[in-house]
Structure 1
Amino acid sequence: MLDALLWGAVATSSLVVGAALAMLRRWSDAVVGIVLAFGAGALIAAVAFELAEGGLAEGGPLAVGAGLAAGALTFFFADRALEAGSGRRGNRGAGTAGVPLALGALLDGVPEQAVLGIGLAAGDGVSAALLAAVLISNLPESVGSSADMLRAGRSRRFVLLLWLGVAVVCTLAAVGGRAIAEGAPPALTGVVDGFAAGALLVMLVDAMIPEARAKGGTDAGLATVVGFAGAASLSLL
């Protein structure tokens, strides 16, 4: 269990680092947009080369499909509940700025870390590609979300505690994945991978990519490709 706790903490550390970077200085909208675009590209690569591919290899198309639907619907309804709570349907106000990205980090981080723990229990060790993809994508996601929340008037304490909470829950998911992996059917890995992919894809289209384009302008597309290429290269290596 100690190895799962250690690697889980390593994988989620970039979330807290990103929040700290956002607090060190005020980041311009253009920089935040480019950072978000880079992270979006890395996440797309993680969905394609790690989650979807790995899930299909382990659990097959039915398991991945079920996970995709569950992850997509979970993020969709959780995000709508967040909007409804703000009282501004279709318009994320000051109270919710940046929070959907944190929600996305949680909903995809938990199954990602569970997969990491399952791999450790199976004796496969830690997937360097998945670990690198998580680190690369978490950092800009956390920086962008934290910068948005700080600009919207959230306190540094709130932002830091929010990301610490996300990191702790995701780390514990790695321990949980390792604990339940004994005797677990391969289909479970497929469902878990699919869930992460589904939550990620909805978050990317609904929150991360539109915000990256709005803030980063025409440079956002190029930054997305760079992020995708970097994460894809690590996965293929």
Structure 2
Amino acid sequence: MIASLGWGALAAGSLVVGAVLALLRTWPDRAVGLVLGFGAGALIASVSFELAEEGLKIGSASAVAAGLALGGLTFFGADRLVERWGGRSGGSAAGAPLAVGAFLDGIPEQLVLGIGIASGGGVSAALVVAIFASNLPEAIGSAADMRSAGRSGRSVIGLWTGVAVLCAAATVVGAALAGAVSDEAQALVDGFAAGALLTMLIDSMVPEAKEKAQDWAGLTTVAGFALAAGLSLLGQ
């Protein structure tokens, strides 16, 4: 449990790092887009090698497929609710919907991280890198928007610290679940995380990387994929 909490805190800690960076200076769109592209590539590799493939190793294809469908539909529905909440709340309350969005991204990632650690597979370096890299630009952009909407630096850091703590706690929950559920259930969780992350990648992360980094987005995505895929293969 201590190990899962430590690794979970490391992965989720980039949310707080991103918020601090956003308050220290203004970051150009291209820099944020490059990190978004890198994180997207790393997450694509993790979805392929750490989630879908691992789910098929320990469980049936039907369990992974059911998880993919549930994860995609859950993220889609929750993301629509967050967008409506943000639209009704207005600029001054923008921080809460943005934080909920980061929470929706982080929970399935870190649940799987905890399950992997507790199952004896060791720490997935590729998944940790993917989570860390994808969290940074999200926190930078969101925290900058919160500050522009009039929130104090202390409240911004407090909000993102709370989100990071909840995401890190999900790693511990995943570790606890690993010993209590069957291989089929773990395969379902892997598929759920993969479905949620794929939906998030295509709906928000990849389009934003392309918009901000323009022609460089593809190359940085390949770099992120190559690094995470290499780490996954080394860990096997």
User: Do both proteins adopt the same fold according to a TM-score greater than 0.5, normalized to the shorter chain?
Assistant: yes
**Match of 1:26?**
26
| Counterpart amino acid of residue 190 in structure 1 | A
| Counterpart amino acid of residue 135 in structure 1 | F
Residues matched between the structures, number: 234
Residue-by-residue CA offset, 1:176-197 (whole Å, 9 max, x unaligned): 1222322420112211111111
**Match of 1:197?**
194
- Secondary structure of the corresponding residue to residue 217 of structure 1: helix
- Secondary structure of the corresponding residue to residue 76 of structure 2: helix
Partners of 2:48 and 2:25 in 1: how far apart?
34
Q: Which runs of 5+ in 1 are unaligned?
A: none
Residues 204, 124 of structure 1: CA spacing in aligned structure 2 closer, same or farther, 3 A cutoff?
closer
- Secondary structure of the corresponding residue to residue 43 of structure 2: helix
Residues 63, 37 of structure 1: CA spacing in aligned structure 2 closer, same or farther, 3 A cutoff?
same
Residue-by-residue CA offset, 1:120-174 (whole Å, 9 max, x unaligned): 3333332233223322333333334334444455543443233222211121112
Partners of 2:111 and 2:83 in 1: how far apart?
28
Partners of 2:134 and 2:66 in 1: how far apart?
24
Give RMSD over aligned pairs.
2.6
**Would you say 1:217 and 2:210 are equivalent positions?**
no
Q: Which runs of 5+ in 2 are unaligned?
A: none
Shift of 1:25: 0.6
**Match of 1:51?**
51
Which of 100, 103, 107 is 1:106 aligned to? Answer: 103
Q: More helix per residue: 1 or 2?
A: 2
Contact 1:34 1:220 in 2 (8 A): yes
* TM-score relative to the length of structure 1: 0.85
Partners of 1:12 and 1:87 in 2: how far apart?
27
Partners of 1:155 and 1:72 in 2: how far apart?
35
Partners of 2:210 and 2:181 in 1: how far apart?
41
Partners of 1:39 and 1:97 in 2: how far apart?
24
* TM-score relative to the length of structure 2: 0.85
Partners of 2:52 and 2:211 in 1: how far apart?
28
Shift of 1:55: 1.5
Contact 1:43 1:133 in 2 (8 A): yes
Identity percentage of aligned residues: 62
Residue-by-residue CA offset, 1:182-215 (whole Å, 9 max, x unaligned): 2420112211111111111111111111122222
Residues 198, 126 of structure 1: CA spacing in aligned structure 2 closer, same or farther, 3 A cutoff?
same
**Would you say 1:173 and 2:170 are equivalent positions?**
yes
| Counterpart amino acid of residue 40 in structure 1 | A
Residues 87, 114 of structure 1: CA spacing in aligned structure 2 closer, same or farther, 3 A cutoff?
closer
